[in-house]
Amino acid sequence: MTNSETDPSVQAELSRLRDSIDNIDAAVVHMLAERFKCTQQVGRLKAEHRLPPADPAREAQQIARLRSLAESAKLDPAFAEKLLNFIIAEVIRHHETIARS
């Protein structure tokens, strides 16, 4: 069966689900943008007070917290940790840039 032969009700359900995914993706992007606005403020504060860009203790605390949240949400904690590590690396890069300027 080709796409053109797919049952219209299946296509309608697929479209509905994809619309929901698109809405969730938009929300994720907006939430990340808000998060980075906050971390930029943290970076400026750290730079003003000559604090290091990275805070390993805070990062470990956040990873543990996010893993727990992921488990509660039935999301793979390893995936959640990888995502947070990626975000943390970007935040530290921003903080280093702010500290140099």
1 CB contacts (<8 Å, ≥6 apart)?
A: none
The CA distances from residue 30 to 5, 40, 57, 68, 92, in Å, are 37, 15, 27, 23, 20
If you average pLDDT over residues 84-94, what whole number do you get?
97
Question: How high is the pLDDT of residue 3?
Answer: 60
Average pLDDT of the chain, as a whole number: 95
What's the pTM? 0.84
**Residue from 12, 3, 101, 91 nearest 53 by CA:** 91
Domains of the chain: 7-100 (1.20.59.10)
Q: Which two tokens stand for residue 8?
A: 């219209």
- pLDDT reported for residue 79: 98
Q: Using one digit for the tens of pLDDT, what is the confidence trace for 37-69?
A: 999 999 999 999 999 999 999 999 999 999 999
One DSSP character per residue, 63-93 reads: HHHHHHHHHHTT--HHHHHHHHHHHHHHHHH
| Residue-level pLDDT at 2 | 60
Instruction: Identify the band that residue 1 occupies on the pLDDT scale cut at 50, 70 and 90.
Output: low
Q: Which sign does the torsion angle of CA 25, 29, 34, 39 carry?
A: positive
